[in-house]
Amino acid sequence: MNPRFLRSLIFAFSFAAALCAAPALWSQSATSSEDCPCPPSQPTPHPSEPDFTNAANKWQLTAVNLESQVDTVNPTLREQRDAYWKVPLRTYRDEKKAAEAAGGAMFTSPGSYWTDGPEFSAVKGATWVIASFENFHVYAIGQDYELLYTEMNFRVEQIFKQPEGLSLSSGALIDAAFPGGRIKSANGKIFTQRIEPHDHSLQPGHKYLVQFLYIPQGDFFVANAWWDVSSGKVESVSPLEAYRIAHGRFSIVGMSVPDLINYLPKALPDEPDE
């Protein structure tokens, strides 16, 4: 996979949530369960806090207990994943602290969509599967709990494409990670990093068509694109799909899962050279 593309993807996950000063400060705060009269997974509403009422990623507000959480991989693999995430997470933290010290906050564009491009992006090393989002875990790098990342556990049901060297099979459990998360430390404090409400987000208990990008260092994936197929038909709230439908372009949204399975082998793009 092109290192520049992967680096851009990781930082897109890291920065997309930083939209204004007050929510950014909330997302970096650490609050004690003794200071909050409500359960850790439901913080007290405050005008400056993001509104998760209708957010698809509301599940991220659940504070994972680091004391009781069981790691899904061996210690060696966990060290590799920690090492992979440490650089982008630390860079974001340091740049954010510098911006706040200067009296400002980090502002980023939410990005743009290649609305006239193909429905399925051609990315080197992409893996295309139908998989169910079964569970998630949050991990902390260091005891200050300033560097957090979340891993989503997916059960693979059907494989359409995978890069040379991978040997996924039906029933395999794979991990897909992204920066940020919410944890409860051993002393009962809640630490939250880079969680903002999103309409287009993967949700536990749902089944998806997913384009995964494989990260060899740590043997995990990043979810690059997805469509919900839990209902038996393809659904999506992606702005890209909304644009395609509004402008009369072909979209897989509304297609039945059996039809989707028949359609994908001839529709998915060939892997690019770079």
Q: What are the pLDDT digits (tens) for 241-252?
A: 888 888 888 889
Average pLDDT, the chain: 81
Query: Is residue 114 domain-resident?
Result: no
In a domain, 218, yes or no: yes
Q: What percent of the chain has pLDDT over 70?
A: 77
pTM of the predicted model, to two decimals? 0.77
Band of the pLDDT at 162, cuts 50, 70, 90? Answer: very high
For Cα atoms 257, 212, 15, give the angle at the middle one, nearest 5 degrees: 120
199 is a domain residue: yes
pLDDT band at 215 (very low <50, low <70, confident <90, very high): very high
**Number of domains comprising the chain:** 1
Residue 273 within a domain: no
Over the stretch 116-149, which tens digit does the pLDDT of each residue have? 677 898 898 899 999 999 999 999 999 899 999 9
pLDDT of residue 107: 52
Q: Is the pLDDT of residue 223 over 50?
A: yes
Residue 104 lies in a domain: yes
Q: What is the pLDDT of residue 196?
A: 87
Mean pLDDT of 154-177: 95
Question: Taking residues 217-241, what's their average pLDDT?
Answer: 93
85-125 confidence digits (pLDDT tens): 999 999 888 887 888 788 766 555 444 445 567 789 889 88
pLDDT, tens digit (0-9, with 9 covering 90-100), for 201-212? 999 999 999 999
Does any domain span residue 274?
no
Q: Which residue has the tokens 């999506």?
A: 236
pLDDT of res. 169: 94
Residues spanned by the domain of 181: 3-108+119-267
Which segments within the chain are labelled E, that is strand? 30-32, 64-65, 126-140, 148-161, 173-179, 181-184, 189-193, 207-215, 220-228
d(CA 18, CA 180): 12
| Residue 54 belongs to a domain | yes
Residue for token pair 């790691």: 71
